[in-house]
Structure 1
Amino acid sequence: MATLSDVATAAGVSPTAVSRYLNNRIELPQGTRDRIDAAIAKLDYRPNLLAKRLSTGKSEAISIVTPEISNPFFAELAAAVEAAADSHGYAVYMSSTRGDPLREIDAIKRLQDQHVDGLIMMTNRPDDGTLAALLRHIDNVVLLDEDIPGVSVPKVFVENEQGAYLGTRHLIEAGHRDIALISGPAGLMSVRERQTGFRRAMVEAGLPIRAEWLMLGEYSRAYGAQSAKTLLEGSVRPTAIMACSDYLAIGVLQAVRQAGLVVPDDLSLVGFDDMAFAELVDPPLTTIRQPVAEMGRLAFERLLALLNKTEVATEIRLPVELVVRRSVAPFVSKGQ
Structure 2
Amino acid sequence: MATLSDVAEEAGVSPTAVSRYLNNRIELPQATRDRIDAAIAKLNYRPNLLAKRLSTGKTEAISLVTPEIANPFFAELAAAVEAAAQQHGYAVYMSSTQGDRAREIDAIQRLQDQHVDGLIMMTNQPDDGTLAGLLDPHHNVVLLDEDIPGVSVPRVFVENEQGAYLATRHLIEAGHRDIAIISGPPRLMSVSERLAGFERAMDEAGLPVRPGWVLLGQYSRDYGRAAAMQLLGSAPRPTAVLACSDYIAIGVLQATRQVGIDVPGELSLVGFDDMPFAELVDPPLTTIRQPIAEMGRMAFERLLAQINKTDAEPLTRLPVSLIIRKSVRKIGAAHS
TM range, smaller chain: over 0.9
Matched residue, 1:87? 87
Give 1:63 shift.
1.0
Give the partner amino acid of 1:209.
Answer: V
Matches for 1:176-325 after TM superposition, within 5 Å:
176-325=176-325
Matched residue, 1:170? 170
RMSD in angstroms over aligned alpha carbons? 1.2
Question: Which SS does the other structure have where 2:282 is aligned?
Answer: coil
Q: Distance in 2 between matches of 1:229 and 1:214?
A: 14
Q: Distance in 1 between matches of 2:78 and 2:272?
A: 18
Q: Distance in 2 between matches of 1:45 and 1:238?
A: 66
TM superposition outliers: structure 1 runs of 4+ over 6 Å: none
Give 1:171 shift.
0.6
Q: Distance in 2 between matches of 1:74 and 1:2?
A: 40
Matched residue, 2:5? 5
Matched residue, 2:51? 51
Matched, 1:149 2:149: yes
Matched residue, 1:126? 126
Give the partner amino acid of 1:283.
Answer: P
Output one character per residue of 1:17-43: Cα deviation in whole Å (capped at 9) or x when no partner.
Answer: 222211112233333222111011112
Matched residue, 1:116? 116
Deviates more, 1:26-35 or 1:203-212: 26-35
Question: Which SS does the other structure have where 2:317 is aligned?
Answer: strand
Q: Distance in 2 between matches of 1:227 and 1:199?
A: 19
Give 1:332 shift.
4.1
Matched residue, 2:139? 139
Q: Distance in 1 between matches of 2:44 and 2:232?
A: 62
Percent of matched pairs sharing the same residue: 78
Output one character per residue of 1:112-135: Cα deviation in whole Å (capped at 9) or x when no partner.
Answer: 111111111111000000110111
Give the partner amino acid of 2:240.
Answer: A
Question: Which SS does the other structure have where 1:58 is aligned?
Answer: coil
Consecutive unaligned residues of structure 1, counting only runs of 5 or more, are none
Q: Distance in 1 between matches of 2:107 and 2:191?
A: 24
Q: Distance in 2 between matches of 1:262 and 1:4?
A: 68
Give the partner amino acid of 1:24.
Answer: N
Give 1:262 shift.
1.4
Question: Which SS does the other structure have where 2:34 is aligned?
Answer: helix
Q: Distance in 1 between matches of 2:332 and 2:257?
A: 20
Give the partner amino acid of 1:122.
Answer: M
Q: Distance in 2 between matches of 1:256 and 1:49?
A: 55
Q: Distance in 2 between matches of 1:274 and 1:196?
A: 20
Q: Distance in 1 between matches of 2:176 and 2:60?
A: 53
